[in-house]
Amino acid sequence: MAVLGSGTGSNFQALYEEFGAGIVLVISDRPGAGILEKAKRAGIPTIVEKGGPDLCARILGHLEGIDLVCLAGFMRLVKEPLLSAFPRRILNIHPSLLPKYPGLGAWVQAIEDGAGESGCTVHYVDAGMDTGELILQARVPVLRDDTPETLHARIQVEEHRIYPLAVKACLAAIKDGE
Ligand code: GRF
């Protein structure tokens, strides 16, 4: 599988701990992203593809032989021709109980909304923003004295637990010819 990310790469790390050499490529749109450092430390090839109108075509050009694409903090919308090349083969992890709080700063949205709970969701990626079919969710409480940082940290513990589980289920489905 290939992992795409723009940030610190803690979800990449969780996937790597589960799948090891099953991850053969990490692509980032941000040259300084922590995910690149983590991938290099793990001995996984990395590629930087900065944004631009043909970003998804350039990314697709690197994905020959890849079965599954995992977005892990990838801060861009996935577009054609990448979407059609990987039908039900692109997953994303989002820090809310979708369909609640899609888009940026989902944990801030939860706090501002006065939510009593939030969580995270692994879903298939479609052309929308965080709109694809849900695969797996986990819930966490929102505490009265939570800051965006404390809530995000609590959500991330669950992200690191469920993302590998969801990927395992998808790989099994691919193997079964689904
Ligand atoms: C995670 O909270 C994920 O849900 C969101 O972006 C964040 C990425 O974190 N899509 P990391 O780079 O995996 O630490």
Q: Is 170 contained in some domain?
A: no
Which atom from ligand 1 is nearest to the alpha carbon of 10? 14
> Separation of 7 CA from ligand 1 center, angstroms?
7
Same structural domain, 9 and 82: yes
Evaluate whether residue 156 is within a structural domain.
Answer: yes
How close is the Cα of 83 to the center of ligand 1, in Å? 21
Asked whether residue 4 falls in the same domain as residue 70, the answer is: yes
Examine the residue annotation and report whether 152 is marked as an active-site residue of this protein. Answer: no
Per-residue H/E/C for the chain: CEEECCCCCHHHHHHHHHHHHHCCEEEECCCCCHHHHHHHHCCCCEEECCCCCCHHHHHHCCCCCCCCEEECCCCCCCCCCHHHHCCCCEEEEECCCCCCCCCCCHHHHHHHCCCCEEEEEEEECCCCCCCCCEEEEEEEECCCCCCHHHHHHHHHHHHHHHHHHHHHHHHHHHHCCC
Q: Which CATH number covers residue 157?
A: 3.40.50.170
From ligand 1's centre to the CA of 31, what distance in Å?
A: 17
Q: Could you list the residue range(s) of the whole structural domain that residue 154 is in?
A: 94-162
Catalytic residue among 94, 123, 152, 160: 94
- Does residue 177 register a pLDDT over 90? no
Residue nearest to atom 2 of ligand 1 (CA): 95
The model's pLDDT over 100-111, given as tens digits with 9 standing for 90+, comes to 999 999 999 999
Of 40, 68, 86, which residue constitutes the final position of a domain? 86
- Domain boundary residue among 63, 86, 109? 86
pLDDT tens-digit series, residues 55-107? 999 999 999 999 999 999 999 999 999 999 999 999 999 999 999 999 999 99
- 4 and 42, same domain (yes or no): yes
Q: How many angstroms separate the CA atoms of 8 and 33, rounded?
A: 6
38-57: pLDDT as tens digits = 999 999 999 999 999 999 99
| Pair (29, 104) in one structural domain | no
Residues 27 and 68 both lie in one domain? yes
User: Is position 169 within any domain?
Assistant: no
How many domains does the chain fold into? Answer: 2
Residue 176 located in a structural domain: no
Looking at the domain assignment, is residue 178 inside a domain? no
* pTM, entire model: 0.97
